Amino acid sequence: MNNFTTPSRGAQSHVPSACDPDLSGVDPLKLTEIRRRVAVVRSYLRIAEPDEGDRAEHASKLDLSINQFLALVRAWSLQEKASALSGSGASKGAPRPKGRRNLPVASKTAAQEVIAAADANASLIEIVDRVAERCGKLGVATPSRSTIWNMLMEARRASPGTDNHATVISRCHVKLPVQKARHLVYPDLTLAVSEANGEIIFASLGDHDLDADKLTEALKDGLLTGPFKIDSEIAASLQLPEMVDFQAMKATAARTATARILGRGIGSLDLIYHRSRSREPHELLRSKKDAPLSSEDAFHIIVEQIDAHNAARNMKKAIIPGRD
């Protein structure tokens, strides 16, 4: 079993069961709070004829007014989906703010058009130069390099792939704060991704030795097709069959190649290609309702989003050790 899914001290472990609510559409950082709300609402609904005291008692468990609590009860009764309980009472909560809010529309449109027309293998420097040229001709402000990078990565998230045909194998991190013992960490993720169509063929979380064993097994069984571009650190740990056609790359180059295929991330999850440039996991917990994930919850969410990524490209499910 992938050790990423084993319970860790300090994390709120959760073993899925048949009576679990439908958690689709729920902010991962709100899973603990939403499960708590579902449990309290279900407890209230099991009372045959609840009175004012029952309503007050259950509302206080969630730090809500009676009216807010009853709004949650109504929302759950209509849908029985956990996402219906994501707000406080009638309020569903605003989406987390994104960047680039002050970027002029004309500048954003110009950048988007340049990015859409660019070859998938175009470098950031090339795209920044083209955006600057386009904005100069239009007489509008040129977005910053970091803004163009963010827009490019978001566009590549939905891209079907590049004009190349290798399978890139590299490591990155998933932007989810996970409780491991007394520390918060970002999950490690090893990926084998097709340059041609963006399909995630293989994914493994956590244990690098297990990653290597499972990846070697998949290569020997012919489940991954070459040629391959492989992070040299990963290649050194593999027992590669002699017939495997591969090019070893520096870790940074392999991550860059993966970023060109997947862009900002997979499904609704962001990936971190350069850990040293990212904020610390605890900084993602910006609300008192936010909570780090257990390893089990993080594994489930990541697998779900990898499947969503492949499904959007009409591809089969990825090989993922530890998948049910």
pLDDT tens, position by position, 131-153: 999 888 888 888 888 888 888 87
Q: Assess whether pLDDT exceeds 90 at residue 177.
A: yes
CA distance 184 to 292: 7
Does 89 have pLDDT greater than 60? Answer: no
Q: Residue 293: pLDDT band by 50, 70, 90 thresholds?
A: very high
312 is written with which tokens?
């959007």
Mean pLDDT of all residues in 224-236 = 87
What lies within 8 Å, CB to CB, of 88 at 6+ separation is 64, 68
- Two structure tokens written together for 255: 């991550």
227 preceded by cis ω (within 30°)?
yes
Long-range contacts of 109-112 (CB under 8 A, 24+ apart): 110/134, 110/135, 110/138, 110/140, 111/135, 111/143, 111/147, 111/148, 111/151, 112/151, 112/155
Q: 138, 110 in Cβ contact below 8 A?
A: yes
Torsion angle of C-alpha atoms 72, 75, 77, 79, degrees rounded to 10: -140
Q: What are phi and psi of 143, to 5 degrees?
A: -60, 155
- Band (201; pLDDT cuts 50, 70, 90): very high
Q: What letter does residue 294 receive in the DSSP assignment? A: P
Total H helices, total E strands in the chain: 10, 9
Residue 100 has pLDDT above 50, yes or no: no
Sign of the C-alpha dihedral, residues 231, 237, 242, 243?
Answer: negative
**pLDDT for residue 84 is more than 80:** no
Would you state the pLDDT for residue 3? 43
Pairing of strands 183-185, 228-231: unpaired
- pTM of the full predicted structure? 0.69
What are the DSSP calls for 205-223, one per residue?
ES-HHHHHHHHHHHHHTT-
**Confidence band, pLDDT 50/70/90 cuts, at residue 237:** confident
Band (7; pLDDT cuts 50, 70, 90): very low
Task: Return the pLDDT at 208.
Answer: 63
Residue of 128, 183, 178 lying closest to 152 (CA atoms) = 128
- pLDDT tens-digit readout, 245-255: 788 899 999 99
Roughly what angle, to the nearest 10 degrees, separates helices 145-157 and 251-262?
A: 70
- pLDDT tops 90 at residue 203: yes
Q: 167-174 and 228-231: which strand pairing?
A: parallel
pLDDT of residue 18: 44
C-beta atoms surrounding 260 within 10 Å = 23
Specify whether the CB–CB gap between 166 and 154 falls below 8 A.
Answer: no
Mean local confidence (pLDDT), 185-213? 85
Report pLDDT for 137: 87
Average pLDDT for residues 164-178, to the nearest whole number? 91
- Tokens linked to 74: 């109504």
Span 297-321, mean pLDDT? 90
pLDDT band at 8, cuts 50/70/90? very low
